[in-house]
A and B are shown apart, each in its own frame.
Chain A
Amino acid sequence: MSFTTDKQSLEDLNIFGKQGGDSIYNIFNRCTTRGGAAILEELFRYPLADYEAINKRSGIIQSFALAGTSFPFKSSDFDAAEAYLANTDERSKLTVQENTVTRKLTNMIAMDIETQQIYKGVESLVELMKNAQELMQALNGHPFYKEEKEEIRTILNDPAFAVMYESKGKLSHAQVAAFDVILRFRHRNLVEKLLQHIYYLDVYLAIAKVANDKKFVFPKALPAGQSNLLKLEGVYHPQVKNAVPNNIHVTTDNNVIFLTGANMAGKSTFMKSISIAMFLAHMGFPVAAQQMEFAVLDGVYTTINLPDNLGMGASHFYAEVLRVKKMAGELQAKKDLFIVFDELFRGTNVKDAYEATIAITSAFAKKRRSIFLISTHIIEAGDVLKEKCNNINFLYLPTRMSGHQPVYTYKLEQGITGDRHGMVIINNEKILQILQNGKKQLRKTTAYGI
């Protein structure tokens, strides 16, 4: 079973972002090759739901990060090689017989484009393979990346390619023609497989570099079905500058997090930080935290910026209800999920929101193997839930007032907060004064006008 998520969650967490915008994908996309970037996107699209696979991938990346290996290939070589391999026309084969004086003379003036491409492609591939040989030497004794290394070695050491490693300096026409047949036709599969391996290598090395640069850590995946669901220390949002780190420990005895806090206290950012960490962890990628251990789940679903589809006639409240229903459907299918709701039921009146929050949260609380992260403004619901369920973890993000200015610590604390300062913000924006003063001015002008 694979790890599932949906469009709403990907948008909430800004995984891919809008075209050209800053996104989580862009943080990691330091690939040298285009093939690598494509594979990276693939990895983002399909996170893993198997702890061994996750640990294997993160182990590979981690060991590359430790070794500080850098990608030894030139990206222009790949472009040339790809364009060259794309030409599968048998008639374009170079022949040795044609190497006549006439051909030499014409080529001296101007080589035709196709031949040029073949020359470049063959030269690039020979270069790539030589580099790969050297890299394999350098990676000797690397504990991870074993199978892949074996496969790459087998390809490289194929007797058909031996002639290439012997060539030195500029290739002669006869050599190019001979290699062309090997690379493009006879052993095409091997060459393509090799390129694919190198692209993966590109991805691994790029991520390792990001992990080193940003001081991300590699999470440890645990098999599903244990009481320790998540242990996160020093988690922060990778896109926020000077973000404040937080710790959180989720077990089956406190798997529902009930988050409160004033506006702008950082609730949404905290929820996004954890969700992003969970998402990346299930890809085997490094995360923005100091330490992370997690039991593998089947999916991540967040509801942070739910748009009300009023154009289609659905109210905000109904959109939320449908979203909760979707989660319920997934839980019903016996999946263990990471579910986030920011300001559950804000699109309705207080009493409805109060009742609905209690009903839904206490229903969720029965699912002990999933993690729920729910924030709300209706703090009264918290008191009832405290009585009703014993596995809810009440956390809040505090606000300290310094004079009239609210100050936010962004540090989680235990409990429920009644902090509010909406009126303070309104007063700081001087909305009421604007209206009061405006009227006075109007009176003056009319008085003078008369």
Chain B
Amino acid sequence: MGFKTDKQTLDDLNITGKYKAHSLFSLFNDTHTGGGEKLLELMFQQPLSDALAINQRSDVFKFFHNKKLSFPFNPSTIQAAETYLGEGTAHSYVVVAGGHLRKKFLQMAMKDEHYAQLQSGLLATIDMLKGLQQFLALLEGHPSTELFETVAGAFSGDTMKWLRELRIDQPLRLLQLARYDHLIRHVLRGEMENILRFIYHLDVCIAVSNVARDRNFSYAQALPKGEHIFKTTALHHPALKNGVANPLHLHEEQNVLFLTGANMAGKSTLMKSIGIAVYLAHMGFPVAAKEMVFSVRDGLYTSINVSDNLNLGYSHFYAEVLRVKKVAEEVAEGRDLVVIFDELFKGTNVKDAYDATLAVTKEFSTYRNSFFVISTHIIEVGEALKTACDNLQFSYLPTIMEGSVPRYPYTLQAGITSDRHGMIIIENERILEMIDE
């Protein structure tokens, strides 16, 4: 069973999407090859749910992070080799040589381009193999993975012995061409597939680790499920270059973070940072957090931008109720989840929102195996929850008034805040004066 999430969550956190501005995918997508991009996409679509696999992948990224390598291939070489390897060749060497002879004849007689294409494809492939052979020397100490061992084994063993001894004339003679063509595309077909996969893997690793180095990301350590821990000393939003970092510690005894703060104090950003860190960590990717350790979860659900679907006849409130219901069903299944609710029940009147937030938070908080981050404008709920439950962490994002201008430090403090300055914002915009004129 994989790590579960849904479209609402991916949209809230702006995770996938190649053409979306500032999506996490486009943040990391520094790949050079089409295959690399596809592999990256796949990783984004399928986060892992096994601590061992997560740590293994993040170890690989860490290795590249420290090595500071850049992608050694020319993308067009890879593309030419891909095309060449994509076409099959005949089983027997004699038939291959015969076919090439025909092509060469056609080239001479009718300026046919197949022979030239074949030749440049083969040369590009040999180029790529030689490049990889050299590059492998730099990968001393690469964490042991199946793919790496297979490829490295092939290059150091007998399978690729010919490559070390290869001396080719330019242009290739017909018989040479036929021989290597038959070798690469028929005899070593399986090896070539692995090699291409390894190159895509290299592409992704180098791209991701370079982004991580640039932005000073670090790697989270995955713990087995049962420990129920999420801990980091400094967490910020990966898309913000100078984001303010905050520590965070959730565990079985304190599995609910109850967040308050004025408008624009940064509640939503903090919640998104948490969600994104959880998601990236489960992909084994670098996170915008320091010293992060986390127990593997079964899924992540957020509710940050629930829109009213009036076309379907849902009011905003009802849309929220349905969203909470969906999450409640997942939680009730006994899964270990991370759940993030931003301004729960904002689409209704105060009393209803108070009752609903209180009742729902109370019930959710009894599931100690899941983590909840809940923000609200109704601070009175916090006081009631303080007496009702003992496993809530109360934090707030402060606002400091400098004269009539609010300033936001974005650093998390313990407690509940009643900060508000909505009227000040209205006054600063001078709206009332405009109407009165």
Residues of A within 8 A of B (CB): 262-264, 268, 305, 307-308, 310-311, 315-318, 321-322, 324-325, 328-329, 331-332, 343, 345-353, 355-356, 359-360, 363-364, 366-367, 377-379, 420-423, 425-426, 429-432, 434-439, 441-442, 445
1/0 contact string of B299-324 vs chain A (CB within 8 Å):
00000110110100001111001101
Knowing A332-B434, A420-B351, the reply to whether A436 touches B363 (Cβ < 8 A) is yes
Knowing A317-B264, A425-B321, the reply to whether A435 touches B435 (Cβ < 8 A) is no
B318 and A264 contacting across the interface, CB-CB below 8 Å: yes
A438 and B345 contacting across the interface, CB-CB below 8 Å: no
Knowing A349-B379, A426-B360, the reply to whether A434 touches B332 (Cβ < 8 A) is yes
Query: Is B263 among interface residues, defined by CB-CB distance under 8 A?
Result: yes
Knowing A308-B305, A310-B305, A438-B332, the reply to whether A422 touches B355 (Cβ < 8 A) is yes
Residue of A nearest to B425 (CB): A321
Q: Which 10 A-B pairs rank lowest in CB-CB distance, beginning with the nearest?
A: A438-B332, A422-B352, A352-B422, A349-B377, A377-B349, A328-B434, A435-B363, A263-B317, A317-B263, A442-B334
Query: Is B333 among interface residues, defined by CB-CB distance under 8 A?
Result: yes
User: From residue B245, how far is it (CB to closest CB) to chain A in Å?
Assistant: 18
Distance, CA A349 to CA B421, complexed state (A):
10
A352 and B350 contacting across the interface, CB-CB below 8 Å: no
A437 and B332 contacting across the interface, CB-CB below 8 Å: yes
User: From residue B141, how far is it (CB to closest CB) to chain A in Å?
Assistant: 41
A interface majority secondary structure: helix
Query: Is B32 among interface residues, defined by CB-CB distance under 8 A?
Result: no
1/0 contact string of B133-145 vs chain A (CB within 8 Å):
0000000000000
A422 and B317 contacting across the interface, CB-CB below 8 Å: yes
1/0 contact string of B1-31 vs chain A (CB within 8 Å):
0000000000000100000011000000000
Distance, CA A435 to CA B332, complexed state (A):
5
Distance, CA A363 to CA B433, complexed state (A):
9
* Residue numbers in A under 8 Å from B268 (CB-CB): 310, 315
Residues of B within 8 A of A (CB): 14, 21-22, 262-264, 268, 304-305, 307-308, 310, 315-318, 321-322, 324-325, 328-329, 331-334, 343, 345-353, 355-356, 359-360, 363-364, 366-367, 377-379, 420-423, 425-426, 429, 431-432, 434-437
* Residue numbers in B under 8 Å from A431 (CB-CB): 321, 324-325, 328, 360, 363
A263 and B426 contacting across the interface, CB-CB below 8 Å: no
* Residue numbers in B under 8 Å from A438 (CB-CB): 328-329, 331-334, 367
B317 and A264 contacting across the interface, CB-CB below 8 Å: yes
Distance, CA A434 to CA B426, complexed state (A):
42
Distance, CA A377 to CA B352, complexed state (A):
10
Across the interface, B346 reaches (CB within 8 A) one of A331, A346, A434, namely: A346
Distance, CA A249 to CA B363, complexed state (A):
48
User: From residue A361, how far is it (CB to closest CB) to chain B in Å?
Assistant: 11
User: From residue B68, how far is it (CB to closest CB) to chain A in Å?
Assistant: 33
Across the interface, A349 reaches (CB within 8 A) one of B315, B329, B422, namely: B422
User: From residue A335, how far is it (CB to closest CB) to chain B in Å?
Assistant: 12
Residue of B nearest to A437 (CB): B332
Distance, CA A441 to CA B333, complexed state (A):
8
B interface majority secondary structure: helix
B332 and A422 contacting across the interface, CB-CB below 8 Å: no
* Residue numbers in B under 8 Å from A307 (CB-CB): 307
* Residue numbers in A under 8 Å from B352 (CB-CB): 263, 420-423
A350 and B356 contacting across the interface, CB-CB below 8 Å: no
Distance, CA A430 to CA B326, complexed state (A):
11
A324 and B359 contacting across the interface, CB-CB below 8 Å: no
User: From residue A318, how far is it (CB to closest CB) to chain B in Å?
Assistant: 6
Residue of A nearest to B327 (CB): A431
A263 and B308 contacting across the interface, CB-CB below 8 Å: no
* Residue numbers in A under 8 Å from B349 (CB-CB): 262, 377-379, 420, 422
A422 and B356 contacting across the interface, CB-CB below 8 Å: yes
Knowing A318-B264, A420-B349, the reply to whether A263 touches B422 (Cβ < 8 A) is no
* Residue numbers in B under 8 Å from A367 (CB-CB): 435
B423 and A355 contacting across the interface, CB-CB below 8 Å: yes
* Residue numbers in A under 8 Å from B262 (CB-CB): 349
A429 and B322 contacting across the interface, CB-CB below 8 Å: yes
B355 and A423 contacting across the interface, CB-CB below 8 Å: yes
Across the interface, B426 reaches (CB within 8 A) one of A321, A332, A432, A439, namely: A321
New A-B pairs, 17, CB < 8 Å, besides A263-B316, A317-B425, A347-B343: A262-B349, A318-B263, A318-B264, A322-B429, A325-B431, A328-B431, A329-B434, A356-B426, A360-B432, A363-B431, A363-B432, A422-B348, A422-B352, A429-B322, A431-B324, A434-B328, A438-B334
B359 and A423 contacting across the interface, CB-CB below 8 Å: yes
Distance, CA A346 to CA B8, complexed state (A):
21
Sample 9 A-B pairs with CB under 8 A, ordered by A number.
Answer: A310-B304, A315-B268, A317-B425, A332-B434, A352-B420, A422-B353, A422-B355, A426-B360, A434-B332
User: From residue A400, how far is it (CB to closest CB) to chain B in Å?
Assistant: 17
* Residue numbers in A under 8 Å from B310 (CB-CB): 268, 305
* Residue numbers in A under 8 Å from B21 (CB-CB): 311
* Residue numbers in A under 8 Å from B308 (CB-CB): 305
* Residue numbers in B under 8 Å from A324 (CB-CB): 426, 431
User: From residue B192, how far is it (CB to closest CB) to chain A in Å?
Assistant: 43
Residue of B nearest to A438 (CB): B332
Distance, CA A360 to CA B367, complexed state (A):
43
B378 and A349 contacting across the interface, CB-CB below 8 Å: yes
B355 and A363 contacting across the interface, CB-CB below 8 Å: no
Distance, CA A264 to CA B313, complexed state (A):
9
Across the interface, A348 reaches (CB within 8 A) one of B263, B356, B359, namely: B263
User: From residue B149, how far is it (CB to closest CB) to chain A in Å?
Assistant: 38
A426 and B321 contacting across the interface, CB-CB below 8 Å: yes
Residue of B nearest to A353 (CB): B422
Residue of A nearest to B422 (CB): A352
Distance, CA A326 to CA B22, complexed state (A):
28
Knowing A378-B350, A438-B331, the reply to whether A359 touches B318 (Cβ < 8 A) is no
User: From residue A377, how far is it (CB to closest CB) to chain B in Å?
Assistant: 4
Distance, CA A263 to CA B431, complexed state (A):
29
Distance, CA A435 to CA B431, complexed state (A):
46
User: From residue A74, how far is it (CB to closest CB) to chain B in Å?
Assistant: 37
Distance, CA A435 to CA B316, complexed state (A):
23
A439 and B332 contacting across the interface, CB-CB below 8 Å: yes
* Residue numbers in B under 8 Å from A425 (CB-CB): 317-318, 321
* Residue numbers in A under 8 Å from B345 (CB-CB): 422
